[in-house]
């Protein structure tokens, strides 16, 4: 009897240590990666780096202004495309759960989530870049918006599912039409979840490189025409990192640092938004 309890106690200790150990083993390298990027990147950051265009090989200095502008435009347009579609599909899935269309949509969303980004890039290249005849920022935005969709759809659906039916009934019983009930009661009640889905979606696509290789392509100059090729942070990192020049490597580290900073900021904002707009039922 006594011995049995002793053995159980040991088992307890072993399991607890095991869980902590594995957590540390996984977290530590993650933190080291972040630390390393910060260390390498922060030295590259300067006013010149933020406000100038890249210089040709051989000249010192130069910056990534074109990529910053490009990323902002490409991501912004991707979000503009993805949000209305994503939220609508999420509403449909939560409202008409049992329909065949909902079943197939949910399945496609799950599959879409698992499609490698490079495959999405190729598909958009065939569908849009080929038909339009040139690389363009718009095609890049479309590729990225496809990658954002699952996160927006899922979070919208899950959030709305948690909203009690009694709320919808309260609105309908006041003689409010169905569409107004959805727009004015249900969506506002779920705003925190939907927003966090959108922001996590943006965080996910901000660093995507592969789909942009075939679509936005990159551009050494500042371009704001979305029908023309455009630079972006991940492309800059990719191009500079595979170059043989130390100075360009430096620029790549700086760009990587900015990108990580942006994603960190988005994640923090998501947490804040969830807190601020959380609705108590």
Partner 1 sequence: MESTILKSENFSAWFGENQVLKKINIEIPRNNIVAVMGPSGCGKTTFIRCVNRMHELTNDTHVEGTIFYTKNDIYKMDPIILRRFIGMVFQRPNPFPTMSIYQNVIAGYTLNGASLRKPEKDELVEDSLKKAALWDEVKDMLHRKGTFLSGGQQQRLCIARALAMKPEILLLDEPTSALDPISTAKIEELLFDLKKNYTLLIVTHNMQQAGRVSDKTAFFYLGELIEYNDTKEIFTNPKNEKTQNYITGRFG
- Give the interface with partner 1 as residue ranges (CB under 8 A): 98, 164, 166-167, 169-177, 180-181, 184-185, 188-189, 279-281
126 vs 279, beta carbon nearer partner 1? 279
Minimum separation from the CB atom of position 100 to partner 1 (A)? 14
Our measurement of the distance from residue 268's CA atom to the centroid of its chain's CA atoms, rounded to an integer in Å, reads 13
C-alpha dihedral (147, 151, 154, 156), degrees to nearest 10 = -120
Minimum separation from the CB atom of position 265 to partner 1 (A)? 27
Minimum separation from the CB atom of position 156 to partner 1 (A)? 16
DSSP secondary structure string, 143-187? HHHHHHHHHHHHHHHHHHHHS-HHHHHHHHHTT--HHHHIIIIIH
Minimum separation from the CB atom of position 195 to partner 1 (A)? 14
Residue 11 exposed, middle or buried by CB count within 10 Å (0-12, 13-18, 19+): exposed
Minimum separation from the CB atom of position 103 to partner 1 (A)? 15
Our measurement of the distance from residue 220's CA atom to the centroid of its chain's CA atoms, rounded to an integer in Å, reads 25
102 vs 112, beta carbon nearer partner 1? 102
Residue 97 makes CB contacts below 8 A (sequence gap 6+) with none
34 vs 183, beta carbon nearer partner 1? 183
82 vs 160, beta carbon nearer partner 1? 160
46 vs 166, beta carbon nearer partner 1? 166
């Amino acid at each position: 009897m006594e011995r049995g309890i002793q053995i159980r106690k040991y088992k307890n200790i072993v399991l607890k240590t095991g869980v902590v150990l594995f957590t540390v083993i996984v977290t530590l390298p993650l933190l080291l990666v972040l630390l390393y990027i910060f260390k390498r990147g922060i030295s590259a950051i300067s006013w010149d780096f933020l406000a100038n265009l890249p210089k040709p090989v051989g000249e010192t200095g130069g910056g990534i202004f074109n990529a910053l502008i490009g990323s902002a435009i490409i991501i912004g347009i991707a979000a503009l495309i993805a949000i209305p579609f994503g939220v609508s599909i999420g509403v449909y899935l939560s409202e008409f759960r049992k329909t065949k269309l909902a079943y197939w949509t949910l399945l496609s969303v799950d599959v879409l989530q698992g499609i490698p980004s490079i495959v999405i890039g190729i598909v958009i290249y065939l569908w849009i870049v080929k038909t339009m005849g040139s690389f363009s920022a718009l095609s890049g935005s479309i590729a990225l918006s496809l990658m954002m969709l699952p996160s927006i759809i899922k979070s919208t659906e899950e959030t709305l599912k948690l909203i009690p039916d009694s709320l919808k009934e309260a609105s309908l019983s006041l003689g409010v039409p169905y569409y107004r009930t959805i727009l004015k009661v249900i969506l506002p009640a779920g705003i925190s979840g939907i927003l966090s889905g959108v922001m996590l979606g943006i965080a996910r696509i901000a660093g995507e490189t592969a789909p942009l290789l075939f679509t936005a392509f990159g551009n050494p100059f500042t371009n704001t025409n979305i029908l023309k090729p455009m630079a972006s942070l991940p492309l800059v990192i990719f191009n500079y990192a595979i170059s043989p020049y130390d100075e360009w490597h430096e620029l790549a580290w700086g760009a990587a640092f900015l990108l990580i900073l942006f994603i960190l900021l988005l994640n923090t904002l998501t947490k804040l938004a969830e807190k601020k707009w959380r609705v108590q039922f």
